[in-house]
């Protein structure tokens, strides 16, 4: 009789504790499933995003909701995340442009950089992102002079933004199971 009473009480207490503690990153895939379901999941799925969505917002729609973003929201957020260590001179979510101000890294005095990020599409694709990096060096007269920048730097930065955008999208998909 005691066991009959105790477990529902404990379950109720656990439910109260669970709901009292919010989380910004609950993820059903962190919890175990029946081994048969795990085997099925291991083989992948014909339909992405955990099945065909019947009701509710898509990942992109939900992510962009309330943020007034006219370009791909994941690329937008990933770009801000990536270049935010520099001062932002202008950020236009409708036009899809992020323009930083000149930034001189304290560890490398005499050099400063400026980054322009252009997001060209609402879809998360590699050709929807363009990054331009500008460099100036200080000459002997303490004047800033434009210097050549290796194209590889801009490509590396684009890759970092695309990887970050992908992480954000996957994180969003996991939240929706």
Instruction: Show the tokens assigned to 19.
Output: 């709901």
Burial of 165 (0-12, 13-18, 19+ CB in 10 A): buried
CB of 144 within 8 A of CB of 136?
yes
Residue numbers 145-174 binding another protein by CB under 8 A: 150, 153, 157, 160, 164, 167-168, 171-172
CB of 165 within 8 A of CB of 124?
yes
Residue numbers 98-117 binding another protein by CB under 8 A: 105, 107-108, 111, 113
Sign of the Cα pseudo-torsion (15, 17, 23, 28, in order): negative
Q: Which stretch binds another protein (CB under 8 A): 3-11, 90-98, 121-129, 138-146?
A: 3-11
Instruction: Show the tokens assigned to 154.
Output: 């801009």
Is residue 143 close enough to count as binding another protein by CB under 8 A? no
Chain residues binding another protein by CB under 8 A are 3-4, 7-8, 11, 14-15, 17-19, 21-26, 28, 30-36, 39-41, 43-57, 62-63, 77, 80-85, 105, 107-108, 111, 113, 150, 153, 157, 160, 164, 167-168, 171-172, 175-177
């Amino acid at each position: 009789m005691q066991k009959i009473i105790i477990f529902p009480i404990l379950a109720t207490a656990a439910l109260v504790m669970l709901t009292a503690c919010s989380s910004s990153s609950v993820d059903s895939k962190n919890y175990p499933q029946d081994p048969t379901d795990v085997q099925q999941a291991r083989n992948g799925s014909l339909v992405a995003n955990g099945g065909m969505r019947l009701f509710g917002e898509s990942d992109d729609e939900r992510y962009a909701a309330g943020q007034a973003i006219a370009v791909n929201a994941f690329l937008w957020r990933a770009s801000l995340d990536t270049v935010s260590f520099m001062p932002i001179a202008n950020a236009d979510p409708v036009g899809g442009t992020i323009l930083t101000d000149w930034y001189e890294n304290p560890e490398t005095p005499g050099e400063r950089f400026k980054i322009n990020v252009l997001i060209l599409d609402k879809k998360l694709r590699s050709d929807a992102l363009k990054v331009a990096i500008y460099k100036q060096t200080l000459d002997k007269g303490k004047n800033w002079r434009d210097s050549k920048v290796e194209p590889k730097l801009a490509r590396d930065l684009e890759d970092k933004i695309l990887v970050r955008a992908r992480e954000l999208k996957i994180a969003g998909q996991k939240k929706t199971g």
